[in-house]
Amino acid sequence: MAIEGALAELSIQDVLQLLELAHKTGVLTVRSERLNDEAIVHLSRGAIVFAVRRRSTRRLGQLLIRAGKLTQRELDRALELQRSDPTRRLAEILLEMGSVIEDELERQLRFQMEETIYEVMPWDEGYFKFEERGEIGEQRLLARVRVESLLMEGARRIDEWTRLETKVPSPEAVPVLAANADREVTPLELRSDEWEVLAEIDGDRDVRQLAADLGRSAFDVAKIIYGLVSTGVLEVTERVTRIPELELRGAVDDVETLLRGGRAEEAQKLAAQLETSFPERADLAVLSGRALVAQNRMRAATESFSRAVGLDPLSMDAHYLLGFAAIRTGELERATKAWETFLRLAPNGEQRQLAAQALASLRALTQLVRRVITN
């Protein structure tokens, strides 16, 4: 049974508390139209066992490298294995490879889940939907986080952010060296964590990106930057968005209008421009792929959808469309893996039924071909 509603009527804190009290197992999806972002949270008997934001820059592999627990070569090998089977989680692959011990994986996974929930808690607009899925409880769970402890810490952070906002307006704020920082002043005695953050300041990365690169929480980095701004070492500027969000939405709507009007070539050119401007956006890679499909350029479309999957492994649209594009280019194995991943992520609905039917037909065809060839 699905549970859904608006965050304006029921906060994410209340939703999580209800799911914990009811010992629910399933998938909670939270979307914010204003932020153009979403979070996906897996629960097992009321405890959080997986959580990720679509626009998050915090990746498990980079966290482990930053902590000195993994090498880049080991990560590249693990990602190669994951690409060959997207249904497998990176943590499971690293564990099987023997690259990281289970305790360290659990610690980093807990950090990743906790920070995701803390970042989603302030969302006061958007929608949530929870769907029960019994099979989640059967997977190997490397980390579990209790909702109760998260809510207490999350409430404390929200309160403290009101103080930090006087000097650090948001996680999107960009810290820079103060204009008078190079003048002769009394030497400062900074803590090791302050030096660590200061050494990363480049005038380009915002608080959230700095935190991801340092393997720290955005909240902790914001507190350090707040202190450095207070002492006159740093200043903070707001990042200038490449295209205002409303303008970007309008451009996406223009692509959709062109596609509906059968003007596929114009749609693809505009979609490609948007993807070039925002190379980190999986949804724009999907849009480019759809425009290429409309031109019957299936091989190029397949690569667009594959690129979207690389940017956002949890993008259901990317996996769904990748399967249908790959089948048109004769890449049966690629289509199979794409639909298997989609079915693992997708809620019940028409798309899930279509993908299940397509996958069943593809498997039947594959078996028939093997029988004919072997006979």
Q: What is the CATH number of the domain that holds 307?
A: 1.25.40.10
Given a cut of 90, whether residue 16 has pLDDT beyond it is: yes
85 and 209 share a domain? no
| Average pLDDT score over the chain | 85
The letter for the amino acid at 157 is: R
Query: pLDDT at position 137, please?
Result: 44
Domain end point (choices 135, 160, 185):
160
154 and 9 share a domain? yes
15 and 151 share a domain? yes
Distance CA 304, CA 309 (A): 9
Given a cut of 60, whether residue 183 has pLDDT beyond it is: no
Q: How confident is the model at residue 57 (pLDDT cuts 50, 70, 90)?
A: low
Q: How confident is the model at residue 375 (pLDDT cuts 50, 70, 90)?
A: low
229 and 362 share a domain? no
- Which residues lie closer than 8 Å to 318 by C-beta, 6 or more apart? 282, 285, 286, 289, 305, 308, 309, 312
350 and 298 share a domain? yes
* pLDDT tens for each residue of 139-155: 566 788 889 888 888 88
Euclidean distance between the first and final Cα of the chain, in Å?
47
Q: Is the sign of the CA dihedral 345, 349, 351, 356 positive or negative? A: positive
Give the residue-averaged pLDDT of 205-229: 89
40 and 87 share a domain? yes
Strands in 2-6's sheet, in edge-to-edge order, are 2-6, 127-132, 26-32, 37-44, 47-53
60 and 76 share a domain? yes
155 and 229 share a domain? no
Task: Check residues 340 and 246 and name the one with the higher pLDDT.
Answer: 340
Query: pLDDT at position 41, please?
Result: 92
Task: Provide the domain count of the chain.
Answer: 3
| Whole-model pTM over 0.85 | no
Given a cut of 80, whether residue 374 has pLDDT beyond it is: no
Domain end point (choices 94, 126, 160):
160
* pLDDT tens for each residue of 221-278: 999 999 999 988 899 986 555 566 667 888 899 999 999 999 998 998 898 888 877 7
Query: pLDDT at position 221, please?
Result: 93
User: Do the beta carbons of residue 109 and residue 60 sit within 8 Å?
Assistant: yes
191 and 305 share a domain? no
282 and 362 share a domain? yes
* pLDDT tens for each residue of 66-91: 888 888 889 888 888 887 777 778 88
CB atoms near residue 373 (< 10 Å): 7
Query: pLDDT at position 215, please?
Result: 83
269 and 360 share a domain? yes
Given a cut of 50, whether residue 203 has pLDDT beyond it is: yes
Of the candidate ranges 56-60, 111-115, 121-125, 333-337, the one whose mean pLDDT is the lowest: 56-60
Domain end point (choices 176, 207, 238):
238
Distance CA 333, CA 300 (A): 18
Domain range for 252: 245-374
